[in-house]
Amino acid sequence: MTGASKLDHQLDSKKKSQLILLICILLIFTVMNGTMFNVAVPDIAEEFGLMPSQVSWVMTGYILVFAVCSLMYGKLADIYPIKTLISVGVILFAVGATLGLIAPNYTTLIVARIIQAVGGATIPAFAFIIPARFLPDEKGKVFGIISSTVAFASGVGPIAGGLIGGVLEWRFLFVFSMFSILAVPLLRRWLPEEGKREGTVDFIGALFLTGFVSGFLMFVTTFNVWVLTIGFFSFILFVWRTLSVREPFIQPTMLKDRRYTTTVLTSFLGTSALFGMIFVIPIMLRDLYDMSTLGIGFVLFPGAIFAGFIGQFGGKLIELRGSQGVVVIALTLVGAGVLLISTFAGYSPWVIAICLLVTYLGFPLIQSSTANLLTTILPNERTGVGMGLFNLLNFMAGAVSSALFGSYLDLGNVSYLMNPLALSGDNMIYSNLFFILMLVTVVALSLFTWVFRGDENKKEEKQQHLASET
């Protein structure tokens, strides 16, 4: 019996349900903490007298630190007890929120957001590691619930931010995150005890990787060539370090497994399409329909609610069809959803809301199926760093898609319509964007099916060859 299975038997059904519920509540705190501040950026800029490029660091700095730390925590989880790491993380998350509430100047506000990101990164990082380690027999179902929670919180965040910021002021958005501190005693009580495992952390390699990720993310958000150069040289140093030390931060053998790299890349492309949709929809609704923040939230809300209720179904679907089958279904739904939005851009907002239902249906399925598939590919001793890299790339997907599509929207008008079924007019630039998102999902689906069906065919040929010999 594996260590994970022994720990699984230490948790009775009631404690399992409580732990899953607590993880989902904490996920709501962290996801909404990011999306709520999107609507508060103009108010923050006005209070501190900032230019758009300056105030953007409220979001950019948070995403940057959050993404890097999610990978670091994954590696640390392979060595140190999860109970300790996530407890410290939640405390830092609440401390950062408290500092943000009372921040007297913009510098203090940025420091508060960075502290929040360092702490908050533990929650999504461990949300996918905890089921794999402590609930192995139910991980498919739990991944579905977790992914639907993320989808739900992503849609509800702008509504909550608009309501809180409109009725009170932007500082009170931090109060919501401060309540996360109440979860620490429950985490200490419900998470199983673990001892420290053998292993070391290559902090030098982690530093080089951080430089690469930071340079890349800063480039896609600022298009500064100097930070891209720093990121490039950091990547060269990271590769050198990985090949020259006995225990590198990321084992090359893990990256050589094409099933792992394909699954991670598929998730990256699928998540890019999803977060690209979430980024573009509010801008489109404001531009084409002159909708308020609250109105935009209500267009997103049905899809977010729908995604929030299919978590249990997603887990059962994984059990019935297998992770590979659900990945194909999820990408098909996302591709169909963004194609519908591309086709009906310019129609009534409620038509767009119906199209969003299809896209949101694929949101929890793509994350839960790829996460569950990775747990079957990764060896137990590398689950933490493997899932950490998975989380890192998903966060990067959001930043990359937002930056690239934001730059495309800066073009203003386009003269060529990619989707022949769409309307011509002011909606053309948005129709083209969603058509591009559809093409991204087609690439992801083609790559995934090519690699995994190729592996299955090789297995069948090998079995037939062995059978013929006997």
Q: Is the pLDDT of residue 102 over 50?
A: yes
pLDDT tens digits for range 148-192 = 888 778 777 777 777 777 677 788 888 888 999 999 998 888 888
DSSP string for 71-115: HHHHHHHTTS-HHHHHHHHHHHHHHHHHHHHT--SHHHHHHHHHH
469: Cα separation from own chain's centroid:
48
**Class of residue 165 by CB neighbours under 10 A (exposed 0-12, middle 13-18, buried 19+):** buried
Number of neighbouring beta carbons within 10 Å of residue 452: 20
Q: Place 71 in a pLDDT band, splitting at 50, 70 and 90.
A: confident
Residue with tokens 């991944």: 143
Hey, where are the domains in the chain? 11-201+249-469, 202-248
Confidence of residue 5 (pLDDT cuts 50, 70, 90): very low
pLDDT band at 7 (very low <50, low <70, confident <90, very high): very low
Q: List the single range of 114-128, 307-321, 374-388 with lowest mean pLDDT.
A: 307-321
Assess contact for 422 and 347: CB atoms under 8 A. Answer: no
Residue 363 per-residue DSSP state: H
> Could you give the percent of the chain with pLDDT greater than 90?
19
Residues with Cβ < 8 Å from 84, sequence gap 6 or more? none
Average pLDDT over residues 292-309: 75
Query: pLDDT per residue over 231-246, tens digit each?
Result: 899 999 999 998 888 8
SS3 for 378? coil
Quickly state the pLDDT bin for 250 (edges 50, 70, 90).
Answer: confident
Instruction: State the SS3 of 411-431.
Output: CCCCCCCCCCCCCCCCCHHHH
Phi, psi of 70 (to 5 degrees): -60, -35
Tens of pLDDT along 303-362? Answer: 777 777 776 677 677 877 888 998 999 999 999 999 999 999 888 888 988 988 888 888
pLDDT at 462 over 70: no
> Within the chain, how many helices (H) and strands (E) appear?
20, 0
CA atoms within 13 A on the CB side of 57: 12
Name which residue leads in pLDDT, 346 or 199.
Answer: 346
pLDDT at residue 70, rounded to an integer: 82
Encoding tokens for residue 431? 């129709």
User: What's the confidence (pLDDT) of residue 56?
Assistant: 64
In terms of CATH, what superfamily is 11-201+249-469?
MFS general substrate transporter like domains (1.20.1250.20)
